Structure 1
């Protein structure tokens, strides 16, 4: 194309219009994009600086998502810990309710009159419940009391008969009767002294001698108690008036002459020896502390005599008879308040004087049994005894059934083989089940506290990066990397009903729960601190992104007001340039008209 020659004015206007058009295009691009630097060509320094700031802001923005997930993971763990805290508090409440519950089952037993000296006497024993093995409590005690026994082996009273001495010697002739007579007769603690002077006239007969001796007896302390008679010529008998226990004792220088010699063997008398017999009323009579006892020939053995004596003493006796060693009959106190033993009466001499023994056995009272049971270390906290209006009340401080042995068939305390059961505490047993249900929830809550595949309560590790270079980060995990569950918290895996039998064991479980609560709260506090750090970094990162983006914007963003004003100015300028071009063209047209 051939060059076209333009006038200087036209060419100048065209150049101005082109420049204006270029500037308008640039201004319009800025208005359209909002950026004053849209490429490295616009401003390399600002472009690359802004690009670096935006890249860092973008990297931090990507990290914000990781932080947000970390926050949600921590909140999920916190939700689990909060629920576990409430569960542990509910478990505490359950145990405290069990501790406050005192609805223990009881039974009251009547204490009969226990024979403390019975050879086969058992104990009052307890088993089951929270009692380990079998624990027995003695129904008797050892103490001091009065005791006595017969002086010799017990012999039944002889059949009723007079006490007498029969002269079985050669006849005491009348000639011998003329000499002086010296005799003494003693019976029942009374004595008659017989003194008959010699008959110088030799006229006294044996019959007259018997009359004289009887006359002196009648004037003595034995008057009415014994008689002296001639049973045959020159043969005499001295006998008691009634059947009375006791021996007649003979004395004086004339005994052998009047009655004959004493037998060498009393069981086998021979002619010329006197025969003596002990009188008997057919019974032994005496009193024990004022209660009369009579033994007859029917009480042939010591066992029979013991039974008769105890019957006479009555059911409420404080002393009892027993068979002592050597076939003797003994008397002993069977109550520690029995007091003195007083033996009196006709045959009191059967017994030795009472003495005090420190090894006697006494039946315990209800109050003494209460003390013995409550003082037993093996029963402490397992059963409790008390006096229930004279009966022994046993309280089963357990959730399991308690067995009481040592009863009669009708349920009275005798030391026998009878048994009775006392139910356990069903309230505490039910609370043990509630406790175990709550404990199971601890592990389930820990398993369900996961977010996005991470469960901090199961020991998972949460890693959060805070900057684009990875030099700032945090690792979040439970203490010692352990799972937070019932086992690691020290809560019993399964609570047996027997664990709630006594307050001591309940207090031990409460102590475990307190420690578990402290651990959970400490972990919650640790996670809370971690959450605060992450949230703080979130806020910081957001602020940094804003700062970086603002910095980038300062380098690249256009001032829309300024650019709009520039566009308006350029449009005005373009219009003026077009008018100027039109004027320049008119000059050329004027030349054309001259040519025409």
Structure 2
């Protein structure tokens, strides 16, 4: 083609047409891609700056997936804690129902002249308790002392375990002596467990341990009917219903485990337990009193709820992570890894009945005592406080992650917008440019045609 000579006018118009075609191709590329910078050749600074911004936006977008999974993991843990809270509240309700239930079984026994004590086996008793009844030290015939007499009364439950010395003054009548003894006893233990009264014959003094606690009495000199050597209290030949009621309700081995009362002259025994109780009154009058079936059933309900509590904690997982089992969730917030959060339970301990400090298996016998129930209720309250505290902590963590997620979304948008501002084309402008270039191309073609007419005139001369 170099051998072909073109006129100056033709060559000028051809060059103009070629430039117009090149500009049209560039404009069409911008319209097709939507970018005014499609390669580093177009604008190196804008191209590489936009590439860096888009790269960071892409990295942050990948972290958004991790944040979304983290939020779902926290929500799964929160669902578990909510269910555990409701379960703990149900366990509280079960124990309160047991606390209010008083459907203990009773049995009434006829007392004869040979009955002096009662024996118990089973029920709330860890071991058999025999011969519960009043004990007494019975003095002989009382005589007004010719000199002061000191009586030493000794019992583990009297006067702090120390001997209680009572002075019977010279010439004191039997009534005055009994009054002196009862005054000293009242000062020592409030007059609850011990008393002085007339013996069965009415001619002497009898010092009674009403609750059946061991007691010994010793006089320093003779004259009041009591021996000058220590005499231990023994069971009387018979005891009244009221004496037995007082002994059973006050004895340290039976108090709170059974309850006794006077049922129109009969001894009524109430079994304060979920287990069957064997009672022997005297030597031959025996019976079995059923346990409290309502409280026993509530103990089983409690155990079922406790089992569900642990299963709820085991099932509160998402994507293989269970915060309630002590797993750790790590969420990264930026592309360099310098900003992150570790989420786990306090001490990375599992949320279960053992770590919450509640009874892992409720024995029916635990519900025998209202005191035991109150203790379990206190433990459940502490467990509820722990769960609510952990729920609050997870809620705070969830708020942090959600805030970072919103921030990252906005940051990605900012980065992508910045990159777009550097590279995107103005479509309206490019469309107008294309229209202008098309017009210019048409004009250039016409000019080229006019320029070539001069050469055609020479051709006509040759013809």
Residue in structure 2 matching 1:381, options 256, 259, 262:
256
Residue 66 of structure 1 aligns to a residue whose secondary structure is helix
Residue 425 of structure 2 aligns to a residue whose secondary structure is coil
* Whole-angstrom distance in 2 between the partners of 1:335 and 1:427: 48
Residue in structure 2 matching 1:392, options 267, 270, 274:
267
Instruction: Please tell me whether residue 545 in structure 1 is matched to residue 420 in structure 2.
Output: no
* Whole-angstrom distance in 1 between the partners of 2:250 and 2:117: 16
Q: Give the corresponding residue for 1:45.
A: 45
Aligned pairs for 1:141-152 (under 5 A) are none
Q: Give the corresponding residue for 2:68.
A: 68
1:367-419: per-residue Cα shift (whole Å, max 9, x none)? 3332332222332321112222232221111000111112xxxxxxxx22331
* Whole-angstrom distance in 1 between the partners of 2:299 and 2:333: 49
Q: Give the corresponding residue for 1:434.
A: 301
Instruction: Please tell me whether residue 132 in structure 1 is matched to residue 126 in structure 2.
Output: yes
1:544 CA drift (Å):
0.9
Residue in structure 1 matching 2:291, options 387, 402, 424:
424
Q: Give the corresponding residue for 1:7.
A: 7
Conserved? CA contact 1:141–1:362, under 8 Å: no
* Whole-angstrom distance in 2 between the partners of 1:94 and 1:399: 15
1:139 CA drift (Å):
5.3
Residue 405 of structure 1 aligns to a residue whose secondary structure is strand
Residue 529 of structure 1 aligns to a residue whose secondary structure is helix
Q: Structure 1 residues 12 and 404, CA, compared in 2 at 3 Å: closer, same or farther?
A: same
1:444-464: per-residue Cα shift (whole Å, max 9, x none)? 222222222222111111111
Q: Give the corresponding residue for 1:79.
A: 79
* Whole-angstrom distance in 1 between the partners of 2:204 and 2:35: 120
1:433 CA drift (Å):
0.9
1:122 CA drift (Å):
5.0
1:11 CA drift (Å):
1.8
1:594 CA drift (Å):
4.5
Q: Which has the higher helix share?
A: 2
1:142 CA drift (Å):
6.2
Q: Give the corresponding residue for 1:276.
A: none
Conserved? CA contact 2:120–2:128, under 8 Å: yes
Q: Give the corresponding residue for 1:560.
A: 427
Residue 430 of structure 2 aligns to a residue whose secondary structure is helix
Conserved? CA contact 1:334–1:362, under 8 Å: no
Q: Give the corresponding residue for 2:31.
A: 31
1:64 CA drift (Å):
1.2
1:483-539: per-residue Cα shift (whole Å, max 9, x none)? 111111112221100000011001111111111111111111111111111111111
* Whole-angstrom distance in 2 between the partners of 1:357 and 1:416: 31
* Whole-angstrom distance in 1 between the partners of 2:438 and 2:366: 96
Q: Structure 1 residues 49 and 144, CA, compared in 2 at 3 Å: closer, same or farther?
A: same
Residue 513 of structure 1 aligns to a residue whose secondary structure is helix
Instruction: Please tell me whether residue 448 in structure 1 is matched to residue 315 in structure 2.
Output: yes
Q: Give the corresponding residue for 2:91.
A: 91
Conserved? CA contact 1:70–1:464, under 8 Å: yes
Instruction: Please tell me whether residue 101 in structure 1 is matched to residue 101 in structure 2.
Output: yes
Residue 69 of structure 1 aligns to a residue whose secondary structure is helix
Conserved? CA contact 2:116–2:239, under 8 Å: no
Residue in structure 2 matching 1:528, options 384, 395, 398:
395
Aligned pairs for 1:461-480 (under 5 A) are 461-480=328-347
Q: Structure 1 residues 2 and 498, CA, compared in 2 at 3 Å: closer, same or farther?
A: closer
Residue 384 of structure 1 aligns to a residue whose secondary structure is strand
Q: Structure 1 residues 576 and 143, CA, compared in 2 at 3 Å: closer, same or farther?
A: farther
Aligned pairs for 1:244-263 (under 5 A) are none
Conserved? CA contact 2:49–2:419, under 8 Å: yes
Query: TM-score scaled by structure 1?
Result: 0.60
Quote the RMSD (CA, aligned, Å): 2.8
Q: Give the corresponding residue for 1:123.
A: 117
1:132 CA drift (Å):
3.3
* Whole-angstrom distance in 2 between the partners of 1:391 and 1:140: 20
* Whole-angstrom distance in 2 between the partners of 1:438 and 1:65: 37
* Whole-angstrom distance in 2 between the partners of 1:2 and 1:132: 122
How many residues align? The count is: 385
* Whole-angstrom distance in 1 between the partners of 2:372 and 2:199: 47
* Whole-angstrom distance in 2 between the partners of 1:32 and 1:87: 63
* Whole-angstrom distance in 2 between the partners of 1:591 and 1:385: 146
Structure ID, larger Rg: 1
Bigger shift: residues 370-379 or 87-96? 370-379
* Whole-angstrom distance in 2 between the partners of 1:372 and 1:334: 23
In structure 1, runs of 5+ residues without a counterpart are 116-120, 149-317, 321-330, 337-354, 407-414
* Whole-angstrom distance in 2 between the partners of 1:93 and 1:542: 46
Q: Give the corresponding residue for 2:372.
A: 505
* Whole-angstrom distance in 1 between the partners of 2:451 and 2:27: 28
Instruction: Please tell me whether residue 401 in structure 1 is matched to residue 276 in structure 2.
Output: yes
Bigger shift: residues 89-98 or 383-392? 383-392
1:356 CA drift (Å):
9.6
Q: Give the corresponding residue for 2:193.
A: none
Conserved? CA contact 1:128–1:400, under 8 Å: yes
